[in-house]
A = this chain, B = another copy of it.
Amino acid sequence: MNMVPTPNTFCLVKGAGEARTRLNAFDKALLAAGIGDTNIVRMSSIVPPSARRVDTVDLPKGGLIPTAYAHIDSETSGEIISAAVAVALPEDPSLPGVIMEHEDTQPLSVVENKVRQMAEDAFTYRNRTLKDLFSIGIEYQVNKCGAVFAGAVLWYE
């Protein structure tokens, strides 16, 4: 058996960006989040069993980085945009955790409360006992063209 190894760490990151196009604003938000010079590969949204939370992660430039993320952009001047992710971790370290993502044109408090509830719900219907619930998010008021990003990066140590 020969496969992609399962990651064993996760890191929560966030950023906002303003640029001349939506994609550049997203790129600047990734740079602000500290992962702008990597290739993020979107995935749904599980923390491998016993994966360790790290505060910073040293990613290879141009590396392929599995990431669960929320993002939203807007070209409406003055609009509030927010993105957040929540991570629920189980009592039983042999079981996986769950990552949930949410974004909206709402204050961060609204978006982050909702994504935390979503992660709790994901444990409830799994009949899994919650040990820790982390979240990270960011709110931004658009000038001309802005984007926000919040993500859980999976990696290796």
Contacts and interface: CB of A to CB of B under 8 A. Distances in A.
Interface of A: 1-7, 19-21, 23-24, 26-28, 30-31, 36-49, 51, 60-64, 66, 68, 95-96, 98, 100-102, 114, 117-118, 121-122, 125-126, 154-157
Contacts of A27: 44-45, 98, 100, 122
Given A27-B122, A121-B24, A39 B95 contact: no
A30 B47 contact: no
A154 B39 contact: yes
B47 A62 contact: yes
A75 to B, nearest CB: 15
Contact of A46 (B19, B38, B51, B121): B38
A61 B12 CA distance: 20
